[in-house]
Structure 1
Amino acid sequence: MRCLTIRQPWATLIALGEKSFETRSWRTAYRGEIAIHAGLKIDKAVCLREPFQSVLARHGFTADNLPAGAIIATGSLINCYEVTAGMAEEGWPYGSEYIFGDYREGRFAWELTGVTPLEDNIPAKGRLGFWEHPVPQRER
């Protein structure tokens, strides 16, 4: 399965369904199943800011107990939008989604759906870009 490494706390926010768009500096034509890998780096300062802190706390997480170095969820990548100046004027993205991403003009918002946390995280070493891992079918 294709995997994408995402720093914490953003990976967990996606796994919990609190974040539906992953923002990147690059466009992707890929559409399909994807595994979310929580990277080893945890931005602890971000975890202490609102709304990050309260959203994570609502699910029992703090900067000290976020998973790292593991595949934590699977879902589908269904679209990739280029961020333009007009999008912000139209009120997109909305709410905490805007705070949880980097929506500067010229970046890309990858839309994720059907994200489901794994019952048991799968330890794995992350990589840049997409990478492959044999995530077992029944783990999803």
Structure 2
Amino acid sequence: MNIICTLQESELPALALSVRQPWAHAIVRGWKDIENRQWNTNQRGRVCIHASAFINRNFEEDSESYREVLNDCVGATPMSYMSRVDQEDVRFGAIIGVATIVDVVRCHDSPWFFGRYGFVLEDQQYLPTPVTVKGALGFFDWRQRLQGRAERTITHPAQRSLL
């Protein structure tokens, strides 16, 4: 899908949900339609998607799973996908897009679904210019966390390749 969000920073939703890479990237690019959580929420509507600065020790394994599910969902082979993704596009520690939470389910046909709860997402869009901000667990008001804004968004293409 790859829909660009045309909202200005001041127009973005106040609430954000932090998601680890590579899953945050899949959400804002419109491929991942479910965000899996161990907890339920009554939150519905537009939220910002925050790419966590945290890189877990399973990043390479997650990236491999990402490639496999991406291939199943959108028919993209790793090589064709690599030609469409700029490594600078895979950000860490920033608001990278928006999505609408339309439901929370305990079972879903999406190949992205696993676990206890799935936040069903629609209208995913990516920000061409990410907003660097420190994340938090659960939903958080990202505008209250803009300290350290002068720091650049972290990218790790040389150290950790998504593909």
Taking structure 2 as the reference length, what is the TM-score of the superposition?
0.64
Structure 1, unmatched stretches of 5+, are: 135-140
Q: 1:10 deviation in Å?
A: 0.1
Mapping of residues 1-140 of structure 1, within 5 Å: 1-42=14-55, 43-49=59-65, 50-51=67-68, 54=78, 57-61=82-86, 66-83=90-107, 92-93=109-110, 98=111, 100-101=112-113, 103-104=114-115, 107-134=116-143
Q: Would you identify which runs of 4 or more consecutive aligned residues in structure 1 move more than 3 Å? A: none
3-state SS of paired residue (1:79): strand
Q: 1:58 deviation in Å?
A: 4.9
Alignment length (residue pairs): 119
> Do 2:135 and 2:142's aligned partners in 1 also have CA atoms closer than 8 Å?
no
Distance (Å, rounded) in 1 between the aligned partners of 2:95 and 2:31 = 17
3-state SS of paired residue (1:28): coil
> Do 1:70 and 1:124's aligned partners in 2 also have CA atoms closer than 8 Å?
yes
Taking structure 1 as the reference length, what is the TM-score of the superposition?
0.74
Q: 1:60 deviation in Å?
A: 1.4
User: Cα RMSD between the aligned structures?
Assistant: 2.4
Task: Specify the code of the residue in structure 2 equivalent to 1:11.
Answer: A
> Do 1:4 and 1:129's aligned partners in 2 also have CA atoms closer than 8 Å?
yes
Distance (Å, rounded) in 2 between the aligned partners of 1:76 and 1:36 = 10
Structure 2, unmatched stretches of 5+, are: 1-13, 71-76, 144-163
Task: Specify the code of the residue in structure 1 equivalent to 2:138.
Answer: G
**% of aligned pairs identical?**
26
